[in-house]
Every structure is written in structure tokens, then in C-alpha cells.
Amino acid sequence: MFDLKSFLATLPNLPGVYRMIGADETVLYVGKARDLKKRVSSYFNKTGLSPRIQLMAAQIARVDITVTRTEAEALLLENNLIKTLSPRYNILFRDDKSYPYLMISGHASPRLAYYRGTQDRKSRYFGPYPNAWAVRETVNLVQRVFRLRTCEDSVFANRSRPCLLYQIKRCSGPCVNAISPGDYAADVKRAVLFLEGKEDELLQELTARMQAAAEKLEFELAAACRNQIQNIAKVREQQVIEGGSERDVDIIAAIMEQGVWCVALAMVRGGRHLGDRHFFPRNTEAVSGAEVLEAFIEQHYQDKPIPPRIIVNQPLNAAALGELLSVQAGHRVRVIHSPQGEARVWLAMAEKGAQVAIGQQQAQNASQEARLNALREALDMPGLNRIECFDISHTMGEATVASCVVYDQGKMQNSEYRRYNINGITPGDDYAAMRDALTRRYRKLQETGAEGESKRPDLVLIDGGAGQLNVARDVMAELGVSDIELIGVAKGPERKAGLEELLFTDSRARHLRPDDPALHLIQTIRDEAHRFAITGHRARRGKARTQSTLEDVPGIGPTRRKALLERFGGLQGVAGASVETLAQVPGISRELAQRIYDALH
């Protein structure tokens, strides 16, 4: 039995993490503390606890602790445990993918591009941006003003004449030497100043350049500088965030409406508003706005860049939180609750954005519920909730990949998607591929029958005709799960959307009206399975082709293959290179260059 009194007496006055454990060994809550003794003891006080904490405290069977060296270290461990365990009484935010950046590559003629992933030292990165749209809008703006190239390095290396972007004055044509390397480098430098928010310095340079060109009667150059100045001025007019030494700011607002909490994040970098993002936390029954905001800040910034200033709309212990974030960021971070001036306007806009996002989510949820109810009625399956869908993708039997996507709790569950690389079958045999994928997916139901990837679906959709459906029926029978409903989704005449035919295992077939919400839900799930399969197939095919084509050449191993691909920007660039150019790559002799050339032609 848990001896609370003796346990509390032995707790150290040190920083660390505590885990509240229930009688069934379920982790109820994970928290951090600067002083474990004070923090954990507070949960067992008779007064001052919220109803939510009282409910949790009544279920505690024991408390596990981990002592850390600092509170910052405790924060890191706490977030890792929350992400892993998803405790019932922690406010949880979805673990998003990494944020996108705008990249100016380290190429001799740098490329402007959208980028997400591991960063290298040769390139420069600007952001992060809240979403892909915000990056692409900025790419378009920078391209229009500074005319930097956006083409892949392999395309750049093999161009013999300028592309359409050059014709419409969106690129200066470094691929065909339409601009000198020095002038292109100067344009890149100006673009960097712009992206860093140093418009004053940039405008001074452009103004001086325009005046010098006019004095030399170089009116075309002067006009180009004037246009750049005007475009930059337009961007500045749209900038309403206050100036100052700290030009990187995050504005965070937590709002509750209709019983739903939403956190709005507005990101400002270099003095410019890059865009907004909205988050909907779970486990928010009877919580305060300060609790929601603190949970978001602690979880969000675990692996995201922390700006020098964070503006919030809820009262919290800003000084302590700022101190903790400063240690984590390696620079001073101020958390401000009551901003003045323009920042107050931005905070109000973030709050309004959160309210709008809640309304949109509620409307979307109502639409999804209507679609699911329509499908339940159409199939006479009142208990229908979890749907899984399979698709097969390959090119003439090459690099076959099967996908499984999951619809549950009224939406697509991306984290539960799975891909299956199919090997050991006759190339192009879709039936064998489907058998393999279904067996690997549902064999676990028979073996464990419980959680994780083995959750039992109410309905399985097969993207295919009667043959695919019959294979699925046989597999499910062999695995002892034939009670799971199976439906084949056969494409209509000329593969037109809205003409799909639903095939059942008892040989029935049914058409739903093109405007039927039930059909719309099936199409959404089927299309997602197709997208997930084809992206996996393309990645596998591209990797296989790159490896087999180059590594089959005697003398080419992983190191030389990597050097070639990096030098020429991809396999296409290698294929377009001459023997003389190939021989310039370190480690590639003239004889080996000839073998590579012969293998690719």
C-alpha cells in the first residue's frame, strides 16, 4: 500500500520529474518541478485543488520520481515522457512534423527553395514558417523582386537555353550565363538582407545603385532598381508589427469557445508576419487558459527555435517561464503577458484567429459526422467508426508498395498509416501484393488482438475490383477475422469520380449517388490510400533506380555515388555530364568516368 506520509518525507528538494501512477499501472500525469518535495506535496493538500486535480489525486496509487540536474533538464524529460505516454491528465498537443524553411542553397549559383528536413552548413535557412503556403508565398515574392533561380541543380546543370521564368522576368538566367556570377551573387546578398528584415540597409544600397545608374545613363538598370525599391516598400506597408531590436516574435493566444480550446500561434521573423497556425489540445476538461498556454509553450518549443520575445494572452508565471526558456534557447527570452502598442493589436488578431479556427473546426466536425452517419445508414452499420483502406502502387511491377490508411474518431489518423514494401511476388501481380499486405496487417489481430497496429477495424475498403476483394475475403478467413466487413471500391467507367461501384463479399454491387455524403467519405479515404501508396512507390522506385544504375558500375560504391549525386544534383545531372566533366569529380578517373558514361547512355 502507498504510504503517502513516509513517501513525501523522503522527497528531495531538487529539480526533477514526477509520474502519478494509478492502481492499474496507468500513468495518470507527468510533471516537472524545480523542487520535487514542494511540488508533489501540493497535490495532496486538502484545499486549493481544482476539481480536475482532486479527481486525479484520488486515483494515485504511487508516485515515481526522477531527479535531474536542472529544471531545464526536467522540462526536456517531462516532454519526452508526455509524448511517449500520453497521460490522461496532461494537456496534450499533437506532435507536428518539422516546420518548413526557405533555403538559399550553397551552390555556386544559389537556388531559392522550400525546404523541410536536416539542415546542412553550406546553405542558408530562413524561418521557420508556420506552413508550406507561407514559404511558397515568400519564395514567389523573393523570386519576383530579386530574380533568383528555383530550378533543381540537375536541371540547372543541363540547360542549354533559358526557361519560361527567365522570359517572364522571374529569373535572371544564371544557367545560360545571362547574368554574370558577380551580379548574381549581389542579388543573392540583397535577397538575404531582405529575408533577414534589414530593409533599411537594402533600400539604401538600391537607392545608391539606382542613382549611380541614372548618372551613367544606364536607364534600364535604374528602372530595375526602382522597381525593386517599390516592391520592397509595398511589403513594408503590410508590416504592422512594431520595430525594435527584437524582430523575431511569437504571439500565442489560448481561447476557449463552445467548450473547445484553441491555441493560435502567429510567427514574426525579421519584422514580418510569416503566418499563423492553430492547435487543438486534448485532455482539457476543467483547465485554465494559463494551464493550456503553459503546456503549449513547454511542448512546442522542445524542438523548435525559440525567439527572443513571446507574447501571450493568459496570465502565467512569465518570469519563471522566460528563465527556463532562456536556458533552453541559449539566449534571453522574454515572455510578455500585457503588451503595448502594435503588439497588443497583433495579440487581438491572434485571439480572433483562434475564434475563427474553432468555428471552422466545429463546422468541419459536423460535416464529417454527417458523412459518417450517411455511410452508417447506407451500409446498415450503426456501430461503424474505424475504417481502414488498402491500395497497391507500382510501375510495370517495379517497386511495389501497398498502403493502409486509417479513418477513426471522425478524421484521418495519419500517425496510424502504414506502408508495406512488397517483395517475393511475380512483378505486377496485384492480387499477391494485396494478399501480402493484408496478411502482414491483420495477422497481428490473431496474435495479439488488442492495441497499436492491431486495432480491429469495423470496415476494410479495398481499392480494386472483384478479384482484389475475393483475395481479401480469403485472407481474412484464413486469419480468423472474417467478421470484419469488406467492401471493394471499383472505379467507374473512364475512372470518373462519382461513378464508383461498391462490391460486397456476397457478390452484391451497389452504386451511391454522386452527391451522397456516404460516397464522399469513401472517396476521401480511397484517395488518401492512393496518395499514400503512390508517394511511397515513387520514393522506393527512385532510390532503387539511383542505386542500381550507379552502383552496378564496377568501381562505384556508396562514397563515389554520393560524391557524383552531390556534384551533379541527382542521377539526371550525372547522366547529362560529359566524360571530361565526370572525371573532374574527386575519386573518378578518366577510365571510370567513361564506364559511368557508357552505363548511363
Q: Which fold is adopted by the domain 387-541? A: Nucleotidyltransferase; domain 5 (3.30.420)
28 and 89 in contact (C-beta within 8 Å)? yes
Q: Where does residue 461 rank: exposed (0-12), middle (13-18), buried (19+ CB within 10 A)?
A: buried
pLDDT of residue 451: 47
Q: Which of 187-196, 303-312, 443-452, 541-550 has the highest mean pLDDT?
A: 303-312
Helix ranges (H only) for 261-341 are: 289-300, 318-329
Q: pLDDT tier at 246 (50, 70, 90 boundaries)?
A: low
Q: How large is the average pLDDT for residues 82-97? A: 84
Q: pLDDT tier at 2 (50, 70, 90 boundaries)?
A: low
pLDDT of residue 302: 83
580 vs 568 pLDDT, higher one: 580
Q: pLDDT tier at 386 (50, 70, 90 boundaries)?
A: very high
**Is the pLDDT at 546 greater than 90, yes or no?**
no
Q: Which fold is adopted by the domain 552-599? A: DNA polymerase; domain 1 (1.10.150)
Q: How large is the average pLDDT for residues 82-94? A: 89
CA 571 from centroid of its chain's CA atoms: 27
C-alpha–C-alpha distance, residues 262 and 279, integer Å: 6
Span 500-534, pLDDT tens digits = 899 999 889 998 888 889 999 999 999 999 999 99
90 vs 514 pLDDT, higher one: 90
CA distances from 25 to 6, 59, 80, 86, 90 (A): 21, 11, 19, 14, 16
Q: 466-478 and 430-447 helices cross at what angle (nearest 10)? A: 30
Q: How large a percentage of the chain has pLDDT more than 90?
A: 37
C-alpha–C-alpha distance, residues 172 and 493, integer Å: 47
pLDDT of residue 529: 95
Domain with CATH 3.30.420.340 in the chain: 249-359, 387-541
- Cell numbers 556570377: residue: 181
Other Cβ atoms closer than 10 A to 530: 17
Report the chain's C-alpha Rg in angstroms.
29
Span 171-220, pLDDT tens digits = 989 998 899 999 899 889 888 888 887 777 777 777 877 888 787 787 87
Length of the chain: 601
Average pLDDT, the chain: 86
Q: pLDDT tier at 484 (50, 70, 90 boundaries)?
A: very high
**Is the pLDDT at 243 greater than 60, yes or no?**
no
Domain with CATH 1.10.150.20 in the chain: 552-599
Comparing C-alpha atoms, which of 459, 460, 462 is closest to residue 384?
A: 459
Give the CATH superfamily of 249-359. UvrC, RNAse H endonuclease domain (3.30.420.340)
pTM as predicted: 0.65
**Is the pLDDT at 471 greater than 90, yes or no?**
yes
User: What would be the CATH architecture of the domain defined by 4-85?
Assistant: 3-Layer(aba) Sandwich (3.40)
Q: How large is the average pLDDT for residues 552-560? A: 83
pLDDT of residue 478: 92
- Cell numbers 541543380: residue: 153
pLDDT of residue 448: 54
Q: pLDDT tier at 136 (50, 70, 90 boundaries)?
A: confident
Span 395-434, pLDDT tens digits = 777 789 999 999 998 889 998 999 999 988 888 899 999 9
Q: Give the sheet arrangement for strand 334-336, strand by strand.
A: 272-279, 260-269, 249-257, 309-312, 334-336
Domain with CATH 3.40.1440.10 in the chain: 4-85
**Is the pLDDT at 236 greater than 80, yes or no?**
no
Q: pLDDT tier at 589 (50, 70, 90 boundaries)?
A: very high
Backbone angles phi, psi at 523, to 5 degrees: -65, -40
Start-to-end Cα distance in the chain = 76
Q: Where does residue 191 rank: exposed (0-12), middle (13-18), buried (19+ CB within 10 A)?
A: buried
pLDDT of residue 524: 93
pLDDT of residue 294: 92
